[in-house]
Amino acid sequence: MPRELRLADGLDIDELEEALGKFKDVTAVWPAGWLADPTGRHELRYWDGTAWTAHVSDTGAQSGDPV
């Protein structure tokens, strides 16, 4: 079934998917540090620059909790 949806700039969905596909292997880089815990279980979780670690912190007390 053809998709007829067109975006404001005139691209259709297939053209957009093709353009975005060129970036599928690009990983966002964020420097290592304490950030809001994405699991919501703790106040902060340590991001090592490539992955979330088990290091967590609540009201300044550090502990461990696997992601």
Structure tokens belonging to residue 65: 């909790």
DSSP 42: S
Question: How remote is the C-alpha of 54 from its chain's centroid?
Answer: 17
Q: How far is 52 from 34, CA to CA, in rounded Å?
A: 10
pLDDT score of 55: 97
pTM confidence score:
0.58
pLDDT in tens, 16-64: 677 666 655 555 678 899 999 999 999 999 999 889 999 999 999 999 9
